[in-house]
A and B are shown apart, each in its own frame.
Chain A
Amino acid sequence: MTMLFSSELIKGTLKTILLKLLADNKRMYGYEITQRVKDLTGDRIQLTEGALYPTLHAMEAEGLLTTETEYIGKRVRKYYSLSKEGKSKSKEKISEFSEFLDTMKILLDISPKNA
């Protein structure tokens, strides 16, 4: 049985997740992002629409993302990709999170599994 991570944990890392995903993929749309996260984490992280779209909009307003739209029949699909600023922010956030993880390991006295 897979363990789902709490929304509090995901909320703090959502921006980093989105930046990393978009750095690895040229462009993605909302539903695609949620599915990719599910696939990559074996369903352990499920992004909610209520968290995803407000964050995407805020990141777009911040200038981290650029968007393009495509018509799929009658509906519009919005693709997100990283702006120049977003690319450098992505590296910065991943590095920050990596250091945070190392610090948390020390703080919570978590030994590496292979140790």
Chain B
Amino acid sequence: MYCLKEQQIDFILNDIRARGVEMEDLQSNLLDHICCIIEENLKEGEDFESFYRQTIPKFYKKELWELEEETITLLIFKSYPVMKKAMIRSGVISATLLTLGILGKFLRLPGSSPCLVLGIVTMSFVFLPLLFTLKAREQKNTKDKLILGLGVFAASLMCLSVLFKIMLWPYAMFMGLSSVFILIAFFLPIYFVNGIRNPDTKVNSIVTSILLIGGCGLFLSLVSVRRMQGTLVNELVIYTTGEQILKTEQAQVVALSSKCSKPLSVLSEGEHIGKLCEDMKSSMYEYATGHPGSGPSPGNIPELHQDFNPGDFLMGNPKAMDQLEELEKVVLVYNKAGIDKTIAGFVPVSDDSGILAHANARTNAKARFDYYSSVLVAMNNLTQIEMTILQNEERRLFGN
């Protein structure tokens, strides 16, 4: 029986490691196995190294690390049924939550946002990673696994970008565009070229690629409907001009009031309306820009959320909803008081201003949808309401 020296054992162990076997357990098993073979079969005086070189290839077909790969595959295979079940369940749960969330969002039902968030999170962090793990097992070469990984990563990123978009969180656009870029620039060319080379997957690859391009196009059209910069500037000019006129008129009315010793705001509702309008404009501006402020100015074009929708603003802001309802009520009282007291030249606050037409938003869900093209239009409508009240004051002070 051959007696192995310590250096020879080290040599075998180092060679096992060099051949790509990383699991310590497997290294020990192989080392002991090889040592046993050598001890039983190598005769004294024979060359250890050449015997070892002849023995080791009997352990594998191509490379020694195949053993480790097979071990890992078997270990994953044991959990395969559990993972498959988890994947199907998470897929069903995320699809159900997404459907409920989207329906709830359209019908403006409470709880739709948590449903959407949970649905997207389940899809991005549970379903898609499990899909990758299971499908990667079926892929034979590393290139295919890489393509699959890239596709799943881009899909997860796209799901998250939708989530960020819905929640009005920052970087939604960046994430969305990145995912489309990864899909179109990297995933699709490799997937398409690989797919059409194989006659079995040729048709499937072409159809999937077309669907993918179509899907990305639709996604892009949804996320990148940017408001034209020109339109934004026009709205900004209208809004800031209105605000300037309002401030100038307010100063004139205050001066006139003190000059002719007549009290301001003969109708207390007018003052209340003005305060409500200012509060609402501030909170709208903060919601749309992400930071507090009294409003934009011509020299400071604010960075607004691309898809700011006053409907969403109201839904996510109970205080604003209350203010809007209160505004409607106070305007009705104001108009009635103005007419009843037969104030000379009194012009009631018109419902045509837009915002009031939708003050019954809590009950009239449909009216809340996308009425205003931007926050600036909504804010300008509030300025116009203030302007009407101020002009009534002016008429009273000037004696019409």
What is A's interface to B at a CB cutoff of 8 Å?
Answer: 29-31, 34, 48-51, 53-58, 61-62, 69, 72-78
| Cross-chain contact of A78 among B10, B28, B36, B61 (Cβ < 8 A) | B28
Return A17 CB to nearest CB of chain B, in Å.
16
Sort A-B residue pairs by CB-CB distance and give the 5 closest, nearest first: A58-B74, A31-B36, A54-B71, A54-B70, A76-B28
Q: A50-B59, A78-B25, A78-B28 are in contact. List 11 more A-B contacts (CB 8 A).
A: A31-B32, A49-B67, A50-B67, A50-B70, A53-B30, A56-B29, A61-B75, A73-B9, A75-B31, A76-B32, A77-B28
- Say whether A75 contacts B26, CB under 8 Å: no
Q: Number of B residues contacting the other chain (C-beta, 8 Å)?
A: 30
- Per DSSP, chain A at the interface is helix
- Closest approach, in angstroms, between the C-beta of A34 and any C-beta of chain B? 8
Would you give 10 A-B contacts (Cβ < 8 Å), ordered by A?
A: A29-B32, A50-B60, A50-B66, A53-B26, A57-B71, A57-B74, A61-B78, A62-B78, A78-B25, A78-B29
Residue B33 lies at the interface, judged by CB distance under 8 Å to chain A: yes
On chain B, the residues within 8 Å of A51 by CB distance are: 70
Q: Which residues of B contact A49 (CB under 8 A)?
A: 30, 33, 58-59, 67
- Shortest CB–CB separation between residue B157 and chain A, in angstroms? 33
Contact assessment for A78 and B70 in the assembled complex, using a CB-CB cutoff below 8 Å = no
Nearest to B10 among chain A residues (CB) is A74
0/1 per residue, B71-90, Cβ < 8 Å to A? 10111011000000000000
Contacts of B25 in A (CB 8 A): 57, 78
Complex CA distance for A17 and B80, rounded to whole angstroms: 23
For B23, list chain A residues within 8 Å (CB).
57
Chain B contact surface mostly: helix
A73 to B36, alpha carbons, bound, how many Å?
A: 12
- Check A72/B32 contact, CB under 8 A, given A49-B59, A50-B60, A54-B70: yes
Q: Chain B interface (Cβ within 8 Å of chain A)?
A: 4, 6, 9-10, 13, 23, 25-26, 28-33, 35-37, 58-61, 66-67, 70-71, 73-75, 77-78
Are A30 and B71 interface neighbours, CB within 8 A? no
Q: A50-B61, A50-B70, A78-B25 are in contact. Are A57 and B32 (CB under 8 A)?
A: no
| Most chain B CB inside 10 Å of its own CB: which residue of A29, A53, A61, A72 | A53
- Chain B min CB distance to A82 (Å): 17
| Residue in B closest to A57 when the chains form the complex, CB atoms | B71
A73–B228 Cα gap in the complex (Å)? 79
B75 touches A57 (CB 8 A): yes
